[in-house]
Amino acid sequence: MSLGKIISISTMRIEVLLTDTNVRVRDIIKTVDFEPENRFEIAEIKGNIAIAIPFGSVIGLRKGVDVERVEGGLSMEYSSEILGKVFDPYGRLIDGNTIANPVVKNVYERNMSLKEIGTNGDILWTGIKVLDFFAPMQKGFKMGLLGGAGVGKTVLIKELIHNVYKYLRSNSVFIGIGERSREGKELYDEMIEGDLLSKMAMTFGQMGENSMARSRAIYAGLTQAEYLRDECRQDVLLFVDNVYRFVQASSEISAELEQMPIDNGYPPTLLSDVAGVEERINSTDNGSITSFQTVFIPADDYNDAAVHAITSHFDGQIVLDRKVAEKGIYPAVNVFRTTSRLIDVEKVGERHYKLVQEVLRYMARYEELEEIVAVLGIEELSKEDYNIFYRSRKLRNYFTQPMFVAEQFTNIPGRFVKIEDVLDDVEAILDGRYDTTDEHRFLFIGNLYDYKQGNRS
């Protein structure tokens, strides 16, 4: 039954003159008797006029076209068969598969109460030296991977999928938002090649698709993760690449709705939009969601309002830095900004905690010394500073790591390094036991014991 007629059209917004005002925001409407069929989500209602956001291109659309409501709103089908399959942001399969006997659920419905949220979990080692040392991960944590354009976020999240998912083999959900289609396809192909896809559901709303698709992909993926947690009572791994793109898509929609922006064009609802999504990513007593989320830093501006809104939900963050990447140090981690709630004597133990503090002290002094050396030369340093200078450079090189998924760049096979080895090695470097070894030799190795045994290849 017709709900009304279209009375205005622009690229990402239409207005509908309602004949039936029994509609709600977030209802889905579609065109009647008009080819190609268009779908829209209602974003705003003012009296008898509704503003709606199109799912696809509006080229050719005309005034006066009738629209009708699609029952159920934006919802998706799921069952235990979602694993191993690929979805679009509207919950439709795009890999040619089908799901038998699905349950249908609205993607916006879930909201968690304080009572059901669980907070405990075991430590989860990733095998990546710099991450395990500076920002250890716990089951149920939300870990952010922050970085500007082109500093290695995607490689790092792929390495995490490789290390964590492959060894844990727990069910996982991957949500690709506003990132490259090429990378999405490559990840999919690699998962199939490695016979790893069977326990992962993937949802893609990539950067070539419109704002609606990119802002809704996260809801589709979350609904799947919640299903695995709540109904299958499982521990779920959730990978989101890239959660910033969700905010970005929301601001595109907000601009179309002519909402007054906060700084840099972000929507006034920025904080509540982010909270609405992030508060759903939590653990209960029945199951957990452990998530790794990449965050793009626009214009390398770490004080960006959206970045702050997102990171305030994290339990830890790994910050990638262009200045580090420039020197060929990968993963390009800025150790000063990288933290985790676990860096606490009671959680990781005194030894680990103290080593982190000591390494940070060395690194901080090194930054100062670098400037002094550039002006005066190394000979002018005191004995103590001289040691700090060289040991810091060795530590910095030691925290590089050959990654499994980056073998095509480095030509060195990846290494999984145990945290005990990292602690031993760091302690040894700090104690000066490697003072006579050239700094060059610490680059892109696993642990020092293996390296000394000549197992570098």
Partner 1 sequence: MSRHVEELIEQKMADIRTGKNIHETGRVAGVKNYILEIEGLEEVGYFEKVVIDGKAEGYISAIGRNRVYVALTKRSEQIYIGDRVHATGVEFKGVFAPDSLGHIVDMFGVDRMNDMRFDETEDLVIENPPIPIMDRGNVSRPLLTGVTGIDMIYPVGKGQRQLIVGDKRTGKTQLTLDAIVNQKGKDMICIYIAIGKTKKEVKEVYYELLKRGAMDYTLILTAFNDEFPPVIKTTPFLGLAIAEKYMRTGKDVLVVIDDLKRHADVCREIALLTGTVPGRDAYPSDIFYTHARLLEKGCQHKDGGSITILPILETKGGDITEYISSNVISITDGQIVLSTKNFEKGYKPALDYGLSVSRLGGAVQSREMKRVGAVVRRELLAYLEKCEVYELANEDEMSPELRENMRNGKEIRNRLKQYKYSPIPHDEMLHMFDGLVRLE
Catalytic residue annotation: 153, 179-180
Judged by beta carbon, residue 251 or residue 284, the one nearer partner 1 is 251
Q: What is the dihedral of CA 425, 431, 436, 442, to 10 degrees?
A: 30
Contact residue for partner 1 among 77, 132, 252, 315 (CB under 8 A): 252
Kindly identify the residues of this chain, within the stretch 378-407, that bind partner 1 according to CB under 8 A: 378-379, 406-407
Q: Is 303 a binder of partner 1 (CB under 8 A)?
A: no
Judged by beta carbon, residue 84 or residue 121, the one nearer partner 1 is 84
Shortest CB 261 distance to partner 1, Å? 6
Judged by beta carbon, residue 123 or residue 207, the one nearer partner 1 is 207
Judged by beta carbon, residue 60 or residue 349, the one nearer partner 1 is 60
Judged by beta carbon, residue 207 or residue 428, the one nearer partner 1 is 207
Which is nearest to 292 in space by CA: 243, 223, 339? 243
Q: Does residue 61 contact residue 9 with C-beta atoms inside 8 Å?
A: yes
Q: Is 63 a binder of partner 1 (CB under 8 A)?
A: yes
CA distance 333 to 192: 30
Q: Is 443 a binder of partner 1 (CB under 8 A)?
A: yes
CA distance 69 to 77: 19
Q: Is 363 a binder of partner 1 (CB under 8 A)?
A: no
Contact residue for partner 1 among 109, 258, 367, 420 (CB under 8 A): 258
State phi, psi for 152 to the nearest 5 degrees.
110, 25
5-13, 68-76, 156-164, 270-278 -> range binding partner 1 (CB under 8 A) = 5-13
Judged by beta carbon, residue 1 or residue 299, the one nearer partner 1 is 299
| Tokens matching residue 142 | 């939300």
Kindly identify the residues of this chain, within the stretch 101-140, that bind partner 1 according to CB under 8 A: none
251-259, 335-343, 413-421, 422-430 -> range binding partner 1 (CB under 8 A) = 251-259
Shortest CB 7 distance to partner 1, Å? 5
Instruction: Tally the residues of the chain.
Output: 457
Judged by beta carbon, residue 182 or residue 383, the one nearer partner 1 is 182
Q: Does residue 117 contact residue 289 with C-beta atoms inside 8 Å?
A: no
List all residues 6 or more positions away from 270 whose beta carbon is below 8 Å from its beta carbon.
247, 250, 251, 262, 305, 306, 309
Kindly identify the residues of this chain, within the stretch 32-51, that bind partner 1 according to CB under 8 A: 47-49
Judged by beta carbon, residue 124 or residue 306, the one nearer partner 1 is 306
Q: How many residues bind partner 1 (CB under 8 A)?
A: 86
Contact residue for partner 1 among 30, 110, 180, 347 (CB under 8 A): 180
CA distance 67 to 5: 6
Shortest CB 213 distance to partner 1, Å? 9
Would residue 179 be called left, alpha or beta, if left means φ above 0 and alpha means ψ between -120 and 50 degrees?
beta
C-alpha distances out from residue 455 to 283, 424, 430, 446, 450, Å: 41, 18, 23, 9, 6
DSSP per residue over 138-205, as a string?
ETT-EEEEEE-TTSSHHHHHHHHIIIIIHHH---EEEEEESS-HHHHHHHHHHHHHTT-GGGEEEEEE
69-77, 143-151, 417-425, 445-453 -> range binding partner 1 (CB under 8 A) = 143-151
Q: Is 365 a binder of partner 1 (CB under 8 A)?
A: no
Q: Does residue 310 contact residue 271 with C-beta atoms inside 8 Å?
A: no
Contact residue for partner 1 among 206, 223, 282, 401 (CB under 8 A): 206
Contact residue for partner 1 among 20, 37, 95, 420 (CB under 8 A): 95
DSSP per residue over 350-382, as a string?
HHHHHHHHHHHHHHHHHHHHHHHHHHH-GGGS-
Place of tokens 């000979």: 379
Contact residue for partner 1 among 125, 165, 174, 204 (CB under 8 A): 204
Q: Is 15 a binder of partner 1 (CB under 8 A)?
A: yes
Contact residue for partner 1 among 265, 349, 413, 432 (CB under 8 A): 265
100-108, 145-153, 156-164, 311-319 -> range binding partner 1 (CB under 8 A) = 145-153
Judged by beta carbon, residue 346 or residue 377, the one nearer partner 1 is 377
Contact residue for partner 1 among 81, 148, 337, 428 (CB under 8 A): 148
Q: Is 27 a binder of partner 1 (CB under 8 A)?
A: no
Q: Does residue 141 contact residue 209 with C-beta atoms inside 8 Å?
A: no
Q: Is 159 a binder of partner 1 (CB under 8 A)?
A: no
Which is nearest to 321 in space by CA: 437, 194, 98, 150? 150
| Tokens matching residue 356 | 């982190």
| Tokens matching residue 43 | 């974003």
Q: Is 194 a binder of partner 1 (CB under 8 A)?
A: no
Q: Does residue 176 contact residue 203 with C-beta atoms inside 8 Å?
A: yes
